[in-house]
Structure 1
Amino acid sequence: MENLLSVLKIGGSTLENLQPAFFNSLRNKIRNGEKIVIVHGGGPEINKKLQEKGLPVQMEDGIRITSPDTLSCVKEALKDIANTKLVKRLNKEGIQAAGLCGSDNTLIQCEFLDEEKYGCVGKVKKVNTELLEKILESGKVPVIASLGVTENGDEVNINADTAAGETAAALSAVSVCFVTDISGIQVEGQKADRLTVTQLKQCINDGHIYGGMIPKVEAAMKCLNLNIDEVLITDQTLSGTCCYKEVLAI
């Protein structure tokens, strides 16, 4: 049987409130032979750390402006708190997990996205798939905190949606699943089961997709451009809206 591999991206707000439904769905996927990699953010935890240190929360174009001081809060929140908590919880739920940080062992190699504009924020150049494949072969779920490292050894913050998409592309994953607080994309009050890229763009133009859903949908479209077959926007049951590219008639 073909080994199916999926990357789950869990945002910080969802991470703080994981329910039994999520762990049940994840166990079912693994039992069915699916291999899973998890990439997570940690926005609320980062903001809390920044507040404690009296540092501003600065965002531009959905990207966290990351000064060296901000980066130390990001690292602490993602590596020491969010990643540790999630790995511990997964193991407690009977799902063997291995905590990783994208900046360790050059797991996610980056260059600066735009140092002048965003500071210590990375653009992914390469993902060390060998390390991830070894962990997957051992039957564990790699759990990656979304940080990276440059060729010069500088640690950088990475947008977790981007880190998930690039990791999925490097591993030739069949899908990326954005685990959110909602059951999928709502169009005119109804949850859409499947939407093509053209339909997604039209829904944004028509105002059916708006607010906080726009960055999620844009991240989904970027993943599809990385040759990933489908991107799911789901709730914790891991079922929701499937986004995919149109199949061109030959």
Structure 2
Amino acid sequence: MFHVMKIGGSTLANLQPAFFEALTNRIQQGEKIVIVHGGGPEINKKLSESGLPLEMKNGIRITSTESLSCVKTALKDITNANLVERLNNEGISAQGLSGAEDYLLTCDFLDKENYGWVGNVQQVNTKIIQNVLDDGKIPVIASLGVTESGETVNINADTAAGETAAALSAESICFVTDTPGVSVNGEWMECLTITDILKSIVEGHISGGMVPKVEAAIKCLDLNIKQVRITDQTLSGTELLKEVLIT
């Protein structure tokens, strides 16, 4: 069975031995791991160097024609290349992929008027991913996409990971973050149901950058991915459930 791992850009900058140990253990247990990553810090750096504004709306990066070039460079040429090199140096054979190449992630526009060149995933070419796995390597996918007419678009990495997991009928998806999981009232939760999450957002107990993560996780549950986790680099953390399990 396939297992998808989404790694955020800020986490990528500070990957620890615990992550590579946990990943190696899972590979040795026979899991087919697929990694999807973002690259927020590198994108911000490239935008700043180019004198372009950093614009976000509803947790989504507004991507103009000018900023798209920075996004592509940051995600594929810098973040993806660095992560693949690091994995290989740690003895984990990996191959970098861009969702914009070979129609790996085919998209339409999410809302061009509001967000610009941001894609909404319509189709995932799972054969490309399977071919890399068949070669004994971990596919490492940069969260870019391509429209049917061949235009490159930026994709929210949480969304790209969820859609990839759904297309693969993945057993699990793990959102690797800088926190040990989801905190409610200062307490790290072992598991949360969708009802718990929505209630905690309304009451303000889950807020800020965690909100889009739990929303992406809920969408993964709606896409019938069996196990959804928000974790730290040990790959343990909060499991998110559709409903309470009756034992």
Question: Which category of TM-score, normalised to the shorter sequence, fits these structures?
Answer: over 0.9
Give the RMSD, CA atoms, in angstroms. 1.2
Secondary structure of the structure 1 residue equivalent to 2:71: helix
State the partner residue of 2:30.
33
Is the 2:9–2:38 Cα contact (8 Å) retained in structure 1? yes
The number of residues matched between the two structures is 246
Please give the per-residue CA displacement for 1:11-48, whole angstroms capped at 9, x wherever unaligned.
11001111110000000000011110000000000000
State the partner residue of 1:60.
57
What TM-score do you get using the length of structure 1 for normalisation?
Answer: 0.96
Q: Does 2:106 match 1:109? A: yes
Shift of 1:174: 1.1
What TM-score do you get using the length of structure 2 for normalisation?
Answer: 0.97
Secondary structure of the structure 2 residue equivalent to 1:241: strand
Which blocks of at least 5 consecutive residues in structure 2 are unaligned?
none
Q: Does 2:9 match 1:12? A: yes
Secondary structure of the structure 1 residue equivalent to 2:198: helix
Q: Does 2:99 match 1:135? A: no
Runs of 4+ in 1 over 3 A off after TM superposition: none
Secondary structure of the structure 1 residue equivalent to 2:178: coil
Q: Does 2:96 match 1:99? A: yes
Partner amino acid for 1:82? T
Please give the per-residue CA displacement for 1:125-169, whole angstroms capped at 9, x wherever unaligned.
000001101111222100000000001000000000000000000
Q: Does 2:19 match 1:22? A: yes
State the partner residue of 1:78.
75
CA distance in 2, matches of 1:51, 1:239: 35
State the partner residue of 2:87.
90
In the TM superposition, what are the counterparts of 1:70-219 in structure 2 within 5 Å? 70-219=67-216
Shift of 1:230: 2.1
Is the 1:229–1:245 Cα contact (8 Å) retained in structure 2? no
CA distance in 2, matches of 1:146, 1:31: 26
Identity %: 65
Which blocks of at least 5 consecutive residues in structure 1 are unaligned?
none
